[in-house]
Amino acid sequence: MLEEKVEGAVFGGVIGDALGTLVEEMDRETVKRAYGGPILDFKEPSPLSVCPHLKKGQYSHESQIFLMALEVYAEKGYFDENLYIKKLVEWVKDEKSHRYPVGSHVNAALSYAAGIEPDEARVKACDIDGAIPAAAAGIFRWDSSYDAYSEGRYIASITHGDEALVDTAGVLAVAVSEIVGGRVLLDTPEDRLGFLEVLREFSQTEMVRSYLDLLYQALTKESVSLDDAILLLGNGSFAPEAFSLALYIALSNGRSYRRAVLTAVNSYGDFGGDTDAIAFIVGALTGGYLGILSIPEEWLKCVEGAEYIRLLTKKLIDKIKQ
């Protein structure tokens, strides 16, 4: 069962990212012009997308860096900061390997490559992409939310110095750990609010707690549409808002991986949003909760590097069992 949850979380996140990348930063009308309507399956990226050079099934830099973090755990059996920095530097130097310009991880990696000390290498940005690699800590530390929070913060703090971002990363790691570890049920409203309370107890910043409080309001209202949730929580790249919207979508659609991820992918609203990061988080949480068998087989076949991800996940599970 643990193996199914780990594999579900890994593939679930990467597939969510690959689908969400198709419409990242597009508003509703642009999506309609580009694809004829909402995304329901893998497609070739439109020339109107932020990543027109990608191919069908390819994912963005968020998954690339998440997989780097998983590689560190799979190779070492613990999180080795020096190995992670080495992987980041190799990634940023190989211009063909990173997908489209992204400031935070690229800037941090370039600083480390230049020999700059960590305090100066860390960027101050609070974009959700800086928190995504922390999901690897939640998966590897499936048996301890406390260790997951600490290591999730640690991973984010290697490249980022913003406290709200680092706190978001830690809480994301807790969410993944609780779900992959099977310590929560999400079947009833009471279950979901209890899970949210666990996350709030771990948070160490008022900013993140305030967004979790807004999420609590959304979950306790009688009827909240996706557009209502976007207006309340936001769907941009600011880490606490993207994370809280992803949690709302995952908790509201937790019985179906397909429905949850497609809701996240199509959470662009009237002004566009960070749909790949939101769909990554939703996919990792829902895939981890429901397991690998919940993910459509055609999506597992279509996503980039599926065989590599399977081998990496197997190696990770072997390290977890040691």
The domain locations on the chain are 2-321
Give residue 100's pLDDT.
62
- Give per-residue pLDDT as tens, 104-160: 888 898 899 999 988 899 999 999 999 999 999 999 999 999 999 999 999 999 999
Helix ranges (H only) for the chain are: 2-20, 28-35, 61-76, 81-93, 103-113, 118-121, 134-140, 145-159, 163-180, 189-202, 206-220, 226-233, 239-252, 257-265, 275-290, 297-302, 306-321
pLDDT at 101: 54
CB atoms within 10 A of CB 90: 13
In the prediction, which pLDDT does 106 show? Answer: 86
Nearest residue to 243 (alpha-carbon basis) of 277, 218, 197: 277
> With a threshold of 0.85, does the pTM exceed it?
yes
Which pLDDT belongs to residue 315?
97
| pLDDT less than 50: residues of the chain | none
Q: How far apart are CA 154 and CA 131, in angstroms?
A: 10
Q: DSSP for 270-290, please give it.
A: TT---HHHHHHHHHHHHHHHH
Question: And the tokens for 24?
Answer: 């990242």
Asked whether 237 and 128 are in contact (CB, 8 A), the reply is yes
Fold of 2-321: ADP-ribosylglycohydrolase fold (1.10.4080)
- Give pLDDT, residue 223: 85
Q: What is the pLDDT of residue 293?
A: 98
